[in-house]
A and B are shown apart, each in its own frame.
Chain A
Amino acid sequence: MERRNYDEMRAASGEVRPHFGPIAEWLAETPAKRVAEKRREADLLFHRVGITFAVYGDAKGAERLIPFDTIPRILPKAEWDQLARGLTQRVDALNRFLHDIYHGQEILKAGVIPPEQVLKNPGYQKEMRGVELPNRIYSSIAGIDLVRHSDGNYYVLEDNLRTPSGVSYMIENRKMMMRLFPELFERQTVLPVEHYPALLLETLRAAAPPRVRDPVVAVLTPGQYNSAYFEHAFLAQQMGVELVEGADLFVKDNSVYMRTTSGRQRVDVIYRRIDDAYLDPLAFRKDSMLGVPGLFAAYRAGNVSLANAVGTGVADDKSTYPFVPEMIRHYLKEEPLLANVPTWQCRNARDLAHVLENLAELVVKEVQGSGGYGMLVGPAASAAELAAFRKLLKANPANYIAQPTLSLSTCPTFVKRGVAPRHVDLRPYVLSGKEVKLVPGGLTRVALKEGSLVVNSSQGGGTKDTWVVE
């Protein structure tokens, strides 16, 4: 009953898709030895530059390299343009939704979404009610995870509206490919992604409090032991702004300042890579050592902007996800251009019954989970794992959603024995400032284990350069 996976390079007939033509030729004519050499070179370079990430729960606290695969994932420009329109539409609707639920709550009054779904959601921040944000943008930086099913269509797997990561790999992967295989870029016109930091800076400056003429931007990191520290430092450096930790900032008279060698310096926009809960020990978790006391009050007073805003978590929660198509219809009066994956909400008794009955065929996820932690892939699970999840589901059904096991598309990938198809997803980054901007492409993650559908780097996934070609 299961159809064949969609392969990004080859059609079902076995024929190479036209946009993959030059790469297929190159693969056929390049000796395996040279490719292997280049792969070793890439590993070495990544290690030297220190593009590593820390893995949570790893007792040794080890820094690991995310495996980089040197065969690019390629999209024709027309297909990308279509995706970009869908992404723009979706993020636009999500930002309108966030503004609405913290103001008039029209969507709840209209009965499109049950009020308790929003108001009782742990991601809903009551303190954000009535707070006016510049351009009404809540998620300035969104990462939308897409997968391509066996029917050839893209589906949105999840929206990441809080602190999506991975964009540094998108840029570093391109740099690496151009360094290792410059000849490939002569064969095809690949649209550039290197200007992402410039667009990000423009987006962040657009988020500044309106009266600020020349806004000062800073990136706020939890510090060098955070798994994404490399990315925080990378983006700060690329944008030419300060990388700050909580202790570098202080609040005086409801404004935020950095401690510098030439005294205090005012900060207008903070690109924060810290969760809401840790931002300000006076407003949220009191035990937070990462945050800045008084930051939230300064933010509410409109003296500093945070990107992303506080309280976006309610919109990228997996239990809110099923309502996104309705949001698009409600706010934009348009049909969604990108499809959702059908989703069962286990907090509904009927959905739960269906999920328990078909557990072995479904993917079950925690509503607030991310990073591939705490999920069950039914078809790949053992009887014991299924039984354990059945218990979890019954104990706390509202904590879970379930989806059919999608057959993620495959892309040729270097493995031990040569080149073989491996499953991939795609995370484009959507920047919302005065207008919505995207760089063509995004981060392609690849599940390196044969048959595996879990692409998360924390679970043994790798990455590929993503090409949008003319």
Chain B
Amino acid sequence: MLSRVADRIYWMSRQMERAENMARILGVTSNMVLFGTKETREQNLLAPLTITDSAERYFEDKKPVTLQGLVDFLALDPANPSSIYSCLRSARENGHAVRWQITSEMWESLNTTWIEMRRVRRSDIAGADATKFFDWVKDRSHLFRGVTYGTIMRGEAFNFSRLGTFLERADNTARILDVKYHVHLPSVKDVGGALDHYQWTALLRSVSSFETYRTLYRDQIFPIKVAQLLILERRMPRSLAACFDQVTQAMERIEGHDRAAKRLASELHARLTNADIEEIFRDGLHEYLTECIADMNELGARIQRAYLGTA
């Protein structure tokens, strides 16, 4: 497959997944600000900016952190390349450039999403309607992934699409968990309190794993178990381990003689397979996740170099 085509397909899939994750983060945030003290509320509002590495940019024009401000910036701002609006636009542009290498159903799904996104007004994402919008973004992403899975030939286009989707998702899960770790844990006295329960529930819901937690652990919500679920539990489809099952599978299927990217992918996979959550906690969850995020970054760079042409 042409490197340019693979590049477009890979990024198209990453951007769609990114839009979904942004919707998840904002959805949970808009829910969490309903609870807690003024202090935790502020922390909760800062979380989306930390997760997406965009605090600096947000504070450039000295805006106060409000929910509406976050929505404007992270959902609707055309100038913010990570906003939902920008992700859906870029995904559609990338799809347009390779519409003859993807299926017509995939193209139509991307195109329709973008056409509808352009019609969204700021007033549509205020108050209770915000949830509706975030759910819509998730639905469009589910639809696109499903259409892709159900229609595209099992070949390089499929492999690069899967690779983009799951690398993006793994990165996002790691970031969500990392920032919540900071937000939640400093105050030991909160552990087990009612507020804490809501916070952890919200975190689990943001990655669609609240029910899974209940099913697997039948227990109160403990941070270490949440970490176990989101990092190592491969039955949970947004966990790092599950994402890396998909990433390595896609990498193995990709033709080509590259060593650097494939080796790093299987190293990360092996590390997730053999890890022990108690050990991770002992050495520091934050340190562990920081390293994961850096390694995934490096993997992305190696994939770009080996297959997609230097961007």
Contact = CB atoms under 8 A, between A and B. Distances in A.
B99 A233 contact: yes
Interface string B243-265: 00000000000111100000000
A375 to B, nearest CB: 33
B213 interface: no
Interface string A256-293: 00111111000000000000000000000000000000
Contacts of A236: 100
A200 B97 CA distance: 24
B255 A245 contact: no
A453 interface: no
Interface stretch (B1-9, B19-27, B47-55, B114-122): B1-9
A233 B100 contact: yes
B309 interface: yes
Nearest to B3: A259
A263 B256 contact: yes
B176 interface: no
B4 A248 contact: yes
A259 to B, nearest CB: 4
B1 A261 contact: yes
Contacts of A263: 256-257
Contacts of B66: none
B99 A248 contact: no
Contacts of B309: 259
Contacts of B254: 261
Contact of B100 (A237, A247, A261, A262): A237
B2 A262 contact: no
A261 B104 contact: no
A426 interface: no
Main secondary structure of the interface of A (DSSP, over half): mixed
A333 interface: no
Interface in B132-160: 156, 160
Contact of B4 (A48, A50, A259): A259
Contacts of A234: 100
B286 interface: no
Contacts, number: 45
A262 B4 contact: no
Given A224-B97, A261-B156, A262-B255, A48 B2 contact: no
A48 B254 CA distance: 32
Interface string B1-41: 11110100000000000000000000000000000000000
A242 B2 CA distance: 8
Interface string A212-245: 0000000000001000000001101100001111
B194 to A, nearest CB: 52
Contacts of A261: 1-3, 6, 156, 160, 254-256, 307-308
Interface residues of B, number: 21
Interface string A38-51: 00000000001110
Interface residues of A, number: 20
B96 interface: yes
B72 interface: no
Contact of B3 (A48, A50, A237, A260): A260
A261 B308 CA distance: 6
A44 to B, nearest CB: 13
A236 B96 CA distance: 16
Interface in B217-252: none
A50 B257 contact: no
B295 interface: no
B108 interface: yes
Nearest to B1: A261
A48 B255 CA distance: 33
Contacts of B256: 261-263
A248 B2 CA distance: 7
A263 B97 CA distance: 21
Contacts of B99: 50, 233
Interface string A19-51: 000000000000000000000000000001110
Interface in A53-102: none
Nearest to A249: B2
B247 to A, nearest CB: 16
A91 B10 CA distance: 45
A149 to B, nearest CB: 40
Given A247-B4, A260-B2, A262-B1, 9 more contacts: A224-B96, A233-B100, A248-B3, A259-B2, A260-B3, A261-B256, A261-B307, A262-B257, A263-B257
Counting from the closest, the 9 A-B pairs by CB-CB distance are A262-B256, A233-B100, A261-B307, A262-B255, A259-B3, A261-B6, A261-B1, A237-B100, A248-B2
5 contacts: A50-B107, A224-B97, A248-B3, A258-B2, A263-B257
